[in-house]
Amino acid sequence: MTKFIDFSGQSLPAIGQGTWYMGEESSRRTQEIAALQAGLEHGLTLIDTAEMYADGGAEEVVGEALRGRRDRAWLVSKVYPWNAGVVDAVEACERSLRRLQTDYLDLYLLHWRGNIPLEETILAMEKLQQAGKIRRWGVSNFDSSDLSELLAEKGGEACAANQVLYHLASRGIEFDLLPYCQQKAIPVMAYCPLAQAGRLRHDLMTHATLNEIAQQKGITVAQLLLAWVIRKEGVMAIPKAGSLAHVAENAAALNIELSSEELSRLNEAFPPPSRKMALDVV
């Protein structure tokens, strides 16, 4: 059964599409556009990008991919922390919208916490919302203390998502951040769900237990990693895929269920945290 995630009353497939490193090489552009469009066909509706990626180049790729089909996608972009003030955020968002060839974002995230006071960023987000430029706003790379500070600010409870690093070999958020987000009904968007195809953890893709389970289920290790991330209520994964084969594989992971025995084996190989850990970032 396809897994979904609830974004304040709007249900979306629990796997979306990342875009980091897209828009960097002109030789890969056509393939990147085709991959994003294929992802939409496969039901990977949410597309995650940022003004940071390829210095706006990733947003341009997304804009091209969505030409004539904007209404089929749920678009997320992110603002640099130093652009998250009342005046600068509006300008940064307008630049993103131009590159994305659209007039609104479904979700706008503060990429990480910087020096601008949270209350000012909230005001900026509210202004963008009132102008119809963004439907919702949220944050990224916020640990539990940052999030509770945000939620204590006036208007902070409108925070619609927290995008953080989460994969099988980096489970720190399970100790407190994830339960906190679940309790507050704030969706968690897991970035690097494939640990960047193992680049962040070299033993991951080749790990014996993972390969054994994947083989027994007739799936790939990447699919196992994605099915594992989205097993939890309120968590979605945003893998980046630059090829049609990877996109199709990732979309199929929406329907993969892991048994309690498989989950126990994965817990043995990659134990859940038993204490508070600092939020992992890339």
Judged by the rule CB under 6 A, the positions of this chain that interact with ligand NDP are 18-20, 48, 111, 140-141, 163, 191-197, 222, 238-243, 246, 249-250, 282
Shortest Cβ 202–ligand NDP spacing (Å): 14
Strand order in the sheet with 235-237: 46-48, 74-79, 107-110, 137-140, 162-165, 188-191, 235-237
Q: What is the 3-state secondary structure (H, E, C) of the chain?
A: CCCEEEECCEEEECECEECCCCCCCHHHHHHHHHHHHHHHHCCCCEEECCCCHHHHHHHHHHHHHCCCCHHHCEEEEEECHHHCCHHHHHHHHHHHHHHHCCCCECEEEECCCCCCCHHHHHHHHHHHHHCCCECCEEEECCCHHHHHHHHHCCCHHHCCCEEEECECCECHHHCCHHHHHHHCCCCEEEECCCCCCCCCCCCCCCCHHHHHHHHHHCCCHHHHHHHHHCCCCCEEECCECCCHHHHHHHHHHHHCCCCHHHHHHHHHHCCCCCCCCCCCCC
Q: Please, which residue, 111 or 133, has the CB nearer to ligand NDP? A: 111
The residue number with the shortest CB distance to ligand NDP is 18
Q: Which is nearer to ligand NDP, 211 or 243 (CB)?
A: 243
Closer CB to ligand NDP, 48 or 143, in the complex? 48
Which residue out of 21, 53, 80, 180 is catalytically annotated? 53
Residue 31 or 182 with smaller CB distance to ligand NDP: 31
Q: Tokens 């309790």 belong to which residue?
A: 183
Nearest approach in angstroms of CB 197 to ligand NDP is 3
Residue 106 contacts residue 135 (beta carbons within 8 Å): yes
Instruction: State the minimum distance, in angstroms, from the CB of residue 231 to ligand NDP.
Output: 17
Q: Which is nearer to ligand NDP, 52 or 158 (CB)?
A: 52
Other Cβ atoms less than 10 A from the Cβ of 183: the count is: 9
CB 282, min distance to ligand NDP, A:
5
53 is annotated as an active-site residue: yes
Pairing, β 74-79 against β 10-13? unpaired
From the CB of 21, what's the least distance to ligand NDP, in Å?
7
Closest distance between ligand NDP and the C-beta of residue 161, in Å? 10
Write the single-letter amino acid at 22. Answer: M
Select 87 or 201, whichever has its Cβ closest to ligand NDP. 201
**Which residues are known to be catalytic?**
53
